[in-house]
């Protein structure tokens, strides 16, 4: 599903060109790479979750203009998932490799569902 997928479809390109909230003079959302990532419910409930709106990403970011010295983050709430790109309230994240722990959790979850 998302491992190794680096596709940016037309919806994501549109978000990159559109001001946030359709506001006049607002900047578009930055696109930032996230590696060694996982999906969690919140910082207070760090158990792994399925990649979907309403959850949060945690991981190592690269190229975030306002977080230059930050390496590990918890994102704001996920708004949309577009293949290999996740939109949060303020940022678009290009998914790199998930964490080993998250990959293991996904394998266990998928084998239990089969």
Does residue 32 form part of some domain?
yes
How many domains does the chain fold into?
1
Does residue 106 form part of some domain?
yes
Which tokens sit at 40? 């969690």
Does residue 3 form part of some domain?
no
Does residue 52 form part of some domain?
yes
| Interval 39-65: pLDDT, tens | 999 888 879 999 999 999 999 997 666
Does residue 84 form part of some domain?
yes
pLDDT band at 72 (very low <50, low <70, confident <90, very high): confident
| Adjacency order of strands within the sheet including 31-40 | 72-74, 56-62, 31-40, 92-95, 85-88, 78-82
The parent domain of residue 61 ranges over 10-113
Q: What is the mean pLDDT of the chain?
A: 80
């Amino acid at each position: 599903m998302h491992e190794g997928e680096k596709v940016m479809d037309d919806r994501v390109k549109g978000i990159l060109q559109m001001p946030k909230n359709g506001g006049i003079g607002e900047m578009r959302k930055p696109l930032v790479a996230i590696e060694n990532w996982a999906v969690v419910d919140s910082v207070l409930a760090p158990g792994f979750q399925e990649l979907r709106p309403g959850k949060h990403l945690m991981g190592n970011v690269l190229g975030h203009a306002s977080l230059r010295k930050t390496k590990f983050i918890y994102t704001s709430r996920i708004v949309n998932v577009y293949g290999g790109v996740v939109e949060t309230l303020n940022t678009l994240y290009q998914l790199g490799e998930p964490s080993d722990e998250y990959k293991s959790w996904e394998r266990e979850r998928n084998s239990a569902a089969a």
